[in-house]
Structure 1
């Protein structure tokens, strides 16, 4: 069951059928995990170190009919106590559960408590200064995040001596699937599903943007979900702090093509958080229609599909476009907008749904709705109600009824600070800083973990990550 209260029926009861995480992986005893020749992979360290609908303000769930009680049913646990003797199947690694922009994610067992967690390996970190800075940025972000709809670091594995320090392992919460797998599955998606998913995406995005962070790769595969429909934004390999100086150029090698905003497709050298909102709009349409909205073979064809739907943009919307892209759009016949086709996505494409979708899919980023304002749209009132009635961790139930938080969509405590990057001038300097950052991050916490390189499971893990690393093209970014 995903969420249920006295006035609402169950929604996500069978969202994921069958076992989700496969065979057990790295089930080990904490007291002998670091022994050389052990058959396990993780060990404890030896020592501690459109339409005219009006969008008003968000409405309180209690005012929308939320009753007392309710509670999210926890997903089925797929873990084994560390003290149990692992079977041969337990000593073999699962298949990788995800490939990020710059890393591979596996499902493992934390030997300290027996819980299943996600282990992300960041390989070849110190190849060049750009790679070093990107990894350091992602690490600091994962440790900075404190939000229920944004994935954050639970721990970082203890690094070796700095001379042998070449890769980083980050532990995060393990989620059961991602939104892409849900969309392409035969599992029916109701309007309630879509509203709850979209609400959580925008809730997490508001938090990121309030910290000045652009995700730059929002897509269904980077939205992790559990069988109780809780959603978290993940994979910050391409994320960066928003550049406030419009004269500073930003890389265009960002965002998976199908979810790439028009300003990037037209070669704009500067962009804002609006690119993430465009991506969310594409995902919203994909949830409604169960197919990719703009699916082309090349960026030029991608841009043509967008203008087929939105119409030929005015010159004022292409001020930042490169000359070639502007000429390509203007040399073709004038296209009228055909937004009415959005009503044909599915029965769930109601008047309110299409209105919000049209506010997200705006060619001109200056006129595109923000994530904060999108959360105030009436279409998301039901999603807010369901999430805070029985899914969130910020509200709770007492004998007299539901106690709601005062801030349904919290912002970051402050802007993410990236000023340190201006002082980074060499690979060795960044390597020392990352090594010190991880060591200081572990102080005062649980016994740190490290990798046992002699284990059979670890060797299999390395083979899979090496294969993926050879397929990933490194993206230059400023």
Structure 2
């Protein structure tokens, strides 16, 4: 597999030099940025969602192109402000090649004027959704390398006790060397060990939503992320969404057409209304053989792994660790570590030195105990302001927004997506979220 292949689409377009008119500026007085190359690309929006806007910009300190995520109106409610703080802490916590992390946070204004947060991350040229819908060839090797990296990053998250809860192709960034990073942790949270505690069902874009959530389960585990990866695996094989329905009930119908009608044991996590609905339907046998028709890449090994991910009962669904041990991913692992990763290296003699741990876990679980201590928006605001100030104490020149930028007005008016522009996140089987 050629590493520097032309799979990536949607990279930044060229443009006139920006020089001092770039959106980012050095906050330190008397700082003289390095000379700006004449082919600097213009700052421009590259994406937006329910909770933020992302622009491709130039870091004035080194001329590097980075992604600038703007989180506006952070302190409108206690729930939303704590969610943003959690995402910010996660981005600063992550240390993994296949998980996007914060490179920097912009210097905030005085606490009285603190309303928005700006986070700088690595800029990747595309995402898996753009690649899947593009006309470019997607080989079996590409699929294995992409799937390996998704699972590798997810193993790290799950080992830190983090559930992503919105794994989908658009949240899997890819660069020109096919290195993949999981992004967008706006819906992520720490595992809830107490099964008596209810968890929201308003998670995961519908096409990638696990059946236990569709059936109103009040508690769920990291298995919901594995189901989402299974849906993406099928989409990589067939170049189309595996379960593309217009509403959650129809979503469940498409799933049972493939998996067959679940048993009562398989539905033990579902709410009573969902079980009753399912039992009223005519029984359906499984039809796994249709998976072989997805494409010529749907080999016996591929379908075997896919079937272990797409299991109705979350307790019987394969774990990320076991999925990584599946023989289908052996070639993906070899290709990734032979020329794409940063954990292995090639010596001056041309010998490849491999790491002792191909799929590392997090050194410690992500701590969310601080959330329980924050009981007001003002408390969150003060703690977040303090947290950002602590992150900035690295000796590096801090950054701020440059209101003299030619693109400043456009950037300042950038807002999150309107509800009509977002994927459907309807409640499952008529249930309301807790």
TM-score by length of 1: 0.85
Q: Hey, what's the Cα distance between the residues in 2 that align with 1:189 and 1:343?
A: 17
Answering whether residue 33 of structure 2 is matched by residue 84 of structure 1, we say: no
CA RMSD of aligned residues (A): 2.3
Alpha-carbon offset, residue 82 of structure 1: 5.3
Q: 1:139 to 1:329 in 2, by over 3 A?
A: same
**Residue number in structure 1 paired with 2:373:** 423
The DSSP-based 3-state class of the residue aligned with 2:253 is helix
Q: Hey, what's the Cα distance between the residues in 2 that align with 1:326 and 1:261?
A: 15
**Residue number in structure 2 paired with 1:4:** none
Match of 2:359 among 409, 429, 443: 409
- Conserved in 2, the CA contact under 8 Å of 1:130 and 1:477? no
- Conserved in 2, the CA contact under 8 Å of 1:101 and 1:235? no
Q: 1:477 to 1:267 in 2, by over 3 A?
A: closer
**Residue number in structure 2 paired with 1:59:** none
- Conserved in 1, the CA contact under 8 Å of 2:152 and 2:359? yes
Q: 1:26 to 1:338 in 2, by over 3 A?
A: farther
Answering whether residue 184 of structure 2 is matched by residue 230 of structure 1, we say: no
**Residue number in structure 2 paired with 1:40:** 22
Match of 2:5 among 3, 13, 16: 13
**Residue number in structure 2 paired with 1:215:** 164
Question: C-alpha offsets along residues 149-189 of structure 1, whole Å, 9 cap, x if unaligned?
Answer: 00000000000001100000000000000000000000110
The DSSP-based 3-state class of the residue aligned with 2:55 is strand
Matches within 5 A, 1:50-449: 83-84=35-36, 93-94=43-44, 96-398=45-347, 399=349, 401-449=351-399
Q: Hey, what's the Cα distance between the residues in 2 that align with 1:26 and 1:166?
A: 31
Q: Hey, what's the Cα distance between the residues in 2 that align with 1:26 and 1:452?
A: 16
Q: Hey, what's the Cα distance between the residues in 2 that align with 1:357 and 1:218?
A: 16
Alpha-carbon offset, residue 317 of structure 1: 1.1
Q: 1:25 to 1:173 in 2, by over 3 A?
A: farther
- Conserved in 2, the CA contact under 8 Å of 1:28 and 1:82? no
The DSSP-based 3-state class of the residue aligned with 1:97 is strand
Q: 1:419 to 1:24 in 2, by over 3 A?
A: farther
Alpha-carbon offset, residue 468 of structure 1: 5.4
Alpha-carbon offset, residue 83 of structure 1: 2.1
Q: 1:15 to 1:385 in 2, by over 3 A?
A: same
Q: Hey, what's the Cα distance between the residues in 2 that align with 1:25 and 1:179?
A: 29
- Conserved in 2, the CA contact under 8 Å of 1:103 and 1:120? yes
Q: Hey, what's the Cα distance between the residues in 2 that align with 1:467 and 1:300?
A: 25
The DSSP-based 3-state class of the residue aligned with 1:14 is coil
- Conserved in 1, the CA contact under 8 Å of 2:51 and 2:416? no
Question: C-alpha offsets along residues 416-446 of structure 1, whole Å, 9 cap, x if unaligned?
Answer: 0000001110000000000000001010231
Q: Hey, what's the Cα distance between the residues in 2 that align with 1:86 and 1:459?
A: 24
Q: Hey, what's the Cα distance between the residues in 1 that align with 2:267 and 2:417?
A: 41
Q: Hey, what's the Cα distance between the residues in 2 that align with 1:134 and 1:357?
A: 32
Alpha-carbon offset, residue 477 of structure 1: 7.8
Alpha-carbon offset, residue 86 of structure 1: 6.5
Alpha-carbon offset, residue 97 of structure 1: 1.3
Q: Hey, what's the Cα distance between the residues in 1 that align with 2:16 and 2:227?
A: 38
Q: Which moved more, 1:289-298 or 1:452-461?
A: 452-461
Q: Hey, what's the Cα distance between the residues in 2 that align with 1:400 and 1:224?
A: 30
Matches within 5 A, 1:432-471: 432-465=382-415
Alpha-carbon offset, residue 100 of structure 1: 3.5
Q: Hey, what's the Cα distance between the residues in 2 that align with 1:460 and 1:344?
A: 47
- Conserved in 2, the CA contact under 8 Å of 1:101 and 1:238? no
In the alignment, structure 1 segments of 5+ residues that lack a partner are 1-8, 30-38, 49-80
Alpha-carbon offset, residue 11 of structure 1: 5.7
Q: Hey, what's the Cα distance between the residues in 2 that align with 1:242 and 1:25?
A: 47
Q: 1:225 to 1:25 in 2, by over 3 A?
A: farther
Q: 1:11 to 1:463 in 2, by over 3 A?
A: same
Q: 1:263 to 1:469 in 2, by over 3 A?
A: closer
- Conserved in 1, the CA contact under 8 Å of 2:198 and 2:219? yes
**Residue number in structure 2 paired with 1:23:** 14
Alpha-carbon offset, residue 85 of structure 1: 7.3
Number of aligned residue pairs: give it: 425
Q: 1:416 to 1:299 in 2, by over 3 A?
A: same
In the alignment, structure 2 segments of 5+ residues that lack a partner are 426-431
